[in-house]
Amino acid sequence: MLSRLSARTFFFALFLFCAGLLGFGLYLQHYVGLEPCPMCIMQRYALALVGVIALLGGLHGPRNGGARVYAAAILLTSLAGGGVAARQSWIQRYPPEIPECGPGLVFMLESFGLSDALPMIFRGAGDCAVIDWTFLGLSIANWSLANFALIALLGFYLLVRRQVRRWY
């Protein structure tokens, strides 16, 4: 069944998946009040880049070689994002005595003022070792790692599968 789907279909589905995950992350930040840490921000960038690559692949609708280039880019980007998620999961499991991610948002605003703290805010503000939210016993970093692994598997599948011949 999956082998009959075109690469374009996979790319559009992956774009929608990434957009949904990013939307959920923004929901957790702006409505639930969870502040992302610097590692969370890096994972968002990686996920956004995967989504952009997938959107470009879907809009382009490449043939065999082109689809493999997009798949390789998705695979490499998801491995990079997954590496950050794995490191954060490790930090959460075995928290260091000295936080590795930087100061909190309130501390930055009180210590540096808004003009100096604004660039730092876009880099993330929370502590990477803190687990603020869980679902089914897994933290956001754990879920991020699982999603990046799923995306990497899809990228690998698209890289090695025989492409479907389409005449449109």
Q: pLDDT tens digits for 119-136?
A: 655 555 567 767 676 678
Q: For 82-103, write each residue's pLDDT tens digit.
A: 998 998 888 888 777 765 565 5
pTM of the model: 0.76
Domain-located, residue 109: yes
* Interatomic CA distance for residues 14 and 147, integer angstroms: 11
The average pLDDT across 135-161 equals: 88
Q: How many domains does the chain have?
A: 1
Per the prediction, the chain carries an average pLDDT of 80
pLDDT bin (cut points 50, 70, 90) of residue 38 is confident
Query: Which pLDDT belongs to residue 1?
Result: 54
Domain-located, residue 80: yes
The CATH number of the domain holding residue 66 is 1.20.1550.10
Domain-located, residue 129: yes
For 6, 25, 63, the CA distances from 66, given in Å and listed in that order, are: 13, 31, 6
